[in-house]
Chain A
Amino acid sequence: MTRIREAFSGGRKAFIPFITCGDPDTGTTKAVVHEAVKNGADIVELGIPFSDPTAEGAVIQSANYRALKGGITTDKVFAMVRELREDISIPLVFMTYANVVFSYGSDKFISSCHDIGIDGLIIPDLPYEEKDEFLPYCRKNDVALISMVAPTSEARIEMIAREAEGFLYVVSSLGVTGTRSEITTDLGAIIRAVRRSSDIPCAIGFGISTPEQARNMAGIADGVIVGSAIVKIIAQYGREAPKHVGEFLRSMKGAICSSTASGGSRQSSPA
């Protein structure tokens, strides 16, 4: 968990790329993770595929199907992360659905996360009301159970933020994952609401695909999560994707670094 905090330390704007594991194979995923680290990723979010990813748009759904068709399993993802950890030290977090964790055995899954060097867990179908499903195992194994807030959260924001761990995943807009031409939610207001009860770092995700969007989001929040735009490049180039993803990530990282902290940032407001 401390590794996640360090990724946001000193006012750094964390860049958090998302990659679906095993799309199209684990070799490509590993190469993409290495490209991500080389091009300035501060945290990498690794998606463990699920057959029915209800919070995903078409792009990440397809990546899940491709990876499962390619034979990816939870055990193969764990083995891949073990290999990645031989030379990668930035925080790695898993994004997957509740059933993938639960059916493996929650305790066994989360203690394996600890053993292979996973720092956090993002579960989009686990709201605040159900987090006791996994929280005791996460506490025991020092794995951050990362909470989400959405544009519809309203009065729930402070309750969620107060108990949030690692970083808070701020969902930029209604709907599922996928690129959006514009993001109209008043994200500044959401982050101000978070700040009223917590100093948890806030990273914005869903729909961020261009350097300009990344720059804007980094101006509002402490971190930027980019998923579908990367997965799209992998869908297009397959095993040749790593170098193309690398170029894209470099442009996004540059944009995030060029942003200036605005009034909503964690460092400029009282905790």
Chain B
Amino acid sequence: MTNKAGRFGVHGGQYIPETLMNAVNELERAYNHWKDDAGFNAELTALLNDYAGRPSRLYYARRMTEDLGGAKIYLKREDLNHTGAHKINNVLGQALLARRMGKTRLIAETGAGQHGVATATAAALMGMSCVVFMGVEDTIRQALNVYRMRLLGAEVVPVKTGTGTLKDAVSEAFREWTSRIDDTHYCLGSVMGPHPFPVIVRDFQAVISREIRAQVMEREGRLPDCVIACVGGGSNAIGSFYHFLNDETVRLIGCEAAGRGIDTFETAATISTGRLGIFHGMKSYFCQDEFGQIAPVYSISAGLDYPGIGPEHAHLHDTGRAEYVPVTDEEAVRAFEYLSRTEGIIPAIESAHALSHAMKIAPGMGRDKVIVVTVSGRGDKDCAAIARYRGENIHD
């Protein structure tokens, strides 16, 4: 009787109000129509290359490698993309798609503000109007990004409901989409939500692993032993993993935000502390209480401060194809500082979670091994928050 659209094992699906069903069906039809269209892809590639600065560099982190004394570490520099994070890859794709669907208005949720900035950027570039929903807590943590979005012509709506963080911003964006569908595309920022979003966002982010594969082959003449990325919803991670999924020799590791630790309530590590549930349009793992109330999660990183994980990651966890590990605030901050001093690269605090895990495992791996860590974004936006974490009071 029902079809099983967009399932990854038991995960995924389309658990959304009836009001949005035709909108997601229309999006799926449009995506299937355009995704293999030569003109669409030529336009997207031109934008990714000429505007966003792709391909992003694969940088051999010599000093970090020598200091850790184990596996060779390469950094996939998504932080060098225009707008400073991987988010632009997906946004340019969705904005082009939205324009072909005749939409004139983009709405988006944002946590750290990177997806909001990317969406505001694409909207400015394509002459579309843009509204970004951002948890009120995050507008304070990431005040600079709020200003950037406004500068780019977007309206930023602080979301005060619930915990005032990313999950509430997603809820509010869905509510807004329910009330205005005709001219509006919801430019979802991660591999989450109802089908077809997890597929669309993954496909647009898969450019990361397509490039890593070619770049590592060119440099090392072989595949990497390990690819590491941070996971909130999981878009930069799935983008980094996708073209290695069939290469069983490549370990894939997603780093979740453990906040103050997975033995505390102040954590956002979904795989470590969550259980199967249905929320934000998808079946997946969620941090929740015994009655299914979604937990008020916490991480120093606004971008990973989400109580769920994309359905494809949940499935990769179930099958064991990818590993998911928790990384605490303190560990991430140490990695943030370490990369800044060792390589002169200030990573996003989100990406610092992945770097921290690389720092943990690299020394135990042989010098002939190769690790790729995706630096999903740049850390300028985090400097004030990390200073505060270290007890220094500076202004954004």
Residues on A with C-beta less than 8 A from B168 are 52
Q: Which of B14-22, B230-238, B341-349, B356-364 forms part of the interface with chain A?
A: B14-22
CA distance A113 to B171 in the complex (A): 28
Given contacts A152-B181, A176-B178, contact A125 B16 (CB under 8 A): yes
Q: Which residue of B lies closest to A157 (CB)?
A: B18
Q: How far is the CA of A147 from the CA of B18 in the complex (A)?
A: 9
How far, in whole Å, are A95 and B174 apart by their CA atoms in the complex? 19
Query: Could you tell me the distance between the alpha carbons of A51 and B291 in the complex, rounded to whole angstroms?
Result: 10
Q: A74 is contacted by which of B276, B288, B291 (Cβ under 8 Å)?
A: B291
Q: Please indicate the chain A residues that have their CB under 8 angstroms from the CB of B175 in the complex.
A: 54-55, 57, 175-176
In this complex, the interface size class of chain B, counting residues with CB under 8 Å from chain A, is: 35 or more
Most chain B C-beta atoms within 10 Å of own C-beta, residue among A73, A130, A147: A130
How many angstroms between the C-alpha atoms of A100 and B174 in the bound complex? 19
Contacting chain A: which of B1-9, B85-93, B149-157? B1-9
Q: CB-CB < 8 A to A55: which residues of B?
A: 17, 175, 178
**Interface positions of A from 28 to 42, Cβ below 8 Å from B:** none
Once the chains bind, are A174 and B181 in contact (CB under 8 Å)?
A: yes
Question: Is A137 part of the binding interface, using a Cβ–Cβ cutoff of 8 Å?
Answer: no
Binary per-residue interface labels of chain B (155-183) against chain A in the complex, 1 for a CB within 8 Å, 0 otherwise:
00000011000011001001100111100
Please state if A153 and B286 are interface contacts (CB–CB under 8 Å).
Answer: no
- A145–chain B nearest beta-carbon distance, Å: 12
Q: Give CA–CA (A103, B293) in the complex, Å.
A: 9
Query: CB-CB < 8 A to A61: which residues of B?
Result: 161
Within 8 A of B (CB), among A128-183: 128-133, 147-154, 156, 160, 163, 171, 174-176
Residue B13, interface by CB 8 Å: yes
**Interface flags, A87-105, vs B, CB<8A=1, else 0:** 0000000000111111110
A7 vs B367: C-alpha distance in the bound complex, in angstroms? 75
- Give the chain A neighbours of B13 by CB distance below 8 A: 129-130
Chain B residues positioned under 8 Å from A70 (CB to CB):
none
Residues on A with beta carbons closer than 8 Å to the beta carbon of B262: none
> Are A160 and B18 neighbours in the complex by a CB distance under 8 Å?
yes
Whether A149 touches B179, Cβ cut-off 8 Å, given contacts A102-B278, A125-B281, A130-B2, is no
The interface on chain A, measured as residues whose beta carbon lies within 8 A of the other chain's beta carbons, has a size of 46
Give CA–CA (A129, B180) in the complex, Å.
Answer: 22
Is there a chain B Cβ closer than 8 Å to A127's Cβ?
A: yes
- Give residues 269-319 of B contacting A (CB, 8 Å): 275-281, 283, 286, 288, 290-294
The CA-CA distance from A151 to B283 in the complex, in Å, is 26
Do the beta carbons of B21 and A156 come within 8 Å of each other?
yes
B16 touches A175 (CB 8 A): no
Contact A153 to B22, CB < 8 A, known contacts A74-B291, A103-B292, A125-B16 = yes
Contact B293 A68 (CB under 8 A): yes
The answer to whether the Cβ of B101 comes within 8 Å of any Cβ in the partner chain is: no
Q: Can you show 23 pairs from A to B with CB atoms below 8 A apart?
A: A51-B162, A51-B293, A52-B162, A52-B280, A54-B171, A54-B175, A98-B15, A100-B291, A103-B275, A103-B288, A103-B290, A103-B291, A124-B17, A127-B15, A127-B16, A127-B21, A129-B3, A148-B18, A153-B19, A163-B1, A171-B17, A174-B178, A176-B179
Chain B interface (Cβ < 8 Å from any Cβ of A)? 1-3, 5, 13-23, 161-162, 167-168, 171, 174-175, 178-181, 275-281, 283, 286, 288, 290-294
